[in-house]
Chains A and B, each alone.
Chain A
Amino acid sequence: GQQVMQIPQYQHVQEGEDFTTYCNSSTTLSNIQWYKQRPGGHPVFLIQLVKSGEVKKQKRLTFQFGEAKKNSSLHITATQTTDVGTYFCAGRMNTNAGKSTFGDGTTLTVKP
């Protein structure tokens, strides 16, 4: 079945440093979504990418979708303590629009 791999599993940074998490799918995706989950909370939608090579920005966050639509990345510039949490990617296949497969997430901790 479809697999979505996400690396790294954990990332510890000093406040102000940059952070990147990568997501790779074994199959071509129709779209990919990114979610953030704060400790003790539920996943909250950040962004959706649909087009090959698409790049979207939200303030200090930059999201990219690969040309082959099989990989994606989330980059945070100059991390802040409010960025702490687990970031998940979720990929949807063309052949089954009913569901998405989540990566295992990257947990970010930020030292002040």
Chain B
Amino acid sequence: NAGVTQTPKFRVLKTGQSMTLLCAQDMNHEYMYWYRQDPGMGLRLIHYSVGEGTTAKGEVPDGYNVSRLKKQNFLLGLESAAPSQTSVYFCASRDGNQPQHFGDGTRLSIL
């Protein structure tokens, strides 16, 4: 049982490049989340999904897109990366009223 797996763990991009972060969970959870964490800022919600085929905006959605084509996967896309998107990205999933399970994070640097 792997839980929540994020790919990749580290990535360096140049400004303007695009990339997709993958989150996969094997717990059959309905809800999935993407957060970014900056020093001293806590966890800020980018986008989330309450089920397969649905997505919703969080607190800081600008510059990001997401897709939940399969229940187990939640993809976060950066169409044109900017230095302000340098951060640690965490994916999480949960079911019902249960707590969130987090992945190990993706450390993204944009030069």
Interface residues of A (CB under 8 A from B): 1, 6, 9, 31, 33, 35, 41-45, 48, 88, 90, 98-105
Q: 4 closest A-B pairs (Cβ-Cβ)?
A: A104-B42, A45-B99, A42-B102, A102-B43
Query: Within the assembled complex, what's the spacing in Å between the Cα atoms of A1 and B102?
Result: 24
Q: Interface 1/0s, chain B 50-94, versus A by CB < 8 A? A: 100000101100000000000000000000000000000010100
Contact A104 B45 (CB under 8 A): no
Query: Within the assembled complex, what's the spacing in Å between the Cα atoms of A33 and B101?
Result: 12
Tally B residues with Cβ within 8 Å of A. 24
Contact B100 A104 (CB under 8 A): no
Interface of A, helix, strand, loop or mixed by DSSP: strand
Contact B31 A98 (CB under 8 A): yes
- Residue pairs across A and B with Cβ atoms less than 8 A apart, 30 shown, are A1-B59, A6-B42, A9-B40, A31-B97, A33-B99, A41-B104, A42-B90, A42-B102, A42-B103, A42-B105, A43-B43, A43-B90, A43-B102, A45-B100, A48-B97, A48-B99, A88-B42, A88-B43, A98-B50, A99-B33, A99-B48, A99-B58, A101-B45, A102-B42, A102-B44, A102-B45, A104-B40, A104-B41, A104-B42, A105-B42
